[in-house]
Amino acid sequence: MKDLISYSYDETLSIGYKIGKNLFKGAIVTLHGDLGSGKTALARGIAKAFSIDDISSPTFTIFHIYDGKLPVYHFDIYRIEEDDLEDIGYEEYFYNDGVTLIEWADKLKRLYPKECLRIVIEKLDSNVRKIILEGIGDKYKRIEDVVEKDEDFGD
């Protein structure tokens, strides 16, 4: 497990970018945190690593598909149940050749991926976030180990 501190929206984007640069085909990232904690900002940074300029929160549409160097499947499951995910064929996206980002992943129980990069974002004050990375499975532990906070984010 690795903890990083972000002091701004731009720094959160940069941390996401660095995470994205270390993801691979079929990667799943689960995002946990309260409303306004920065889940979508981190997802934007990850998507930027795949040459996707911007993403929006898919709260009312359940998920968006973005085409980049790899497809990015961005889910927001705040308003749906696991049965709804099964009805839309979630496996086609979760276990595909793209990168899957799941906001509000704490709602997943039986569908929670057995291997993933679990990211918890804690809002410490209006601008400061604690970002906790936990690689679940060997291929995700590597990401946890290489992501550092530094000055070259976004380059």
Q: What is the pLDDT of residue 154?
A: 42
CATH number at residue 60: 3.40.50.300
Q: Is the pLDDT of residue 30 over 70?
A: yes
| The residue type at 28 | I
Which residues touch 148 (CB under 8 Å, ≥6 apart)? 4, 18
152 assigned to some structural domain? no
Q: DSSP for 95-122, please give it.
A: TSSSEEEEETGGG-STTS-SSEEEEEEE
- With a cut of 90, say whether residue 5 has pLDDT above it: yes
pLDDT reported for residue 115: 96
Is residue 84 domain-resident? Answer: yes
In angstroms, the CA 119 to CA 136 distance is: 10
Do the Cβ atoms of 99 and 126 come closer than 8 Å? no
pTM here?
Answer: 0.90
> Does residue 153 sit within a domain?
no
Give a yes or no: residue 154 inside a domain. no
| Range(s) of the domain holding residue 90 | 2-146
Domain count, the chain: 1
151 within a domain of the structure (yes/no): no
Residue 100 domain-assigned (yes or no):
yes
Residues 11, 138: Cα–Cα separation, whole Å: 27
Q: Confirm whether 101 is domain-assigned.
A: yes
**155 within domain boundaries:** no
Instruction: Please say whether the beta carbons of 55 and 16 come within 8 A.
Output: no
Q: Are 151 and 10 in contact (CB under 8 A)?
A: no
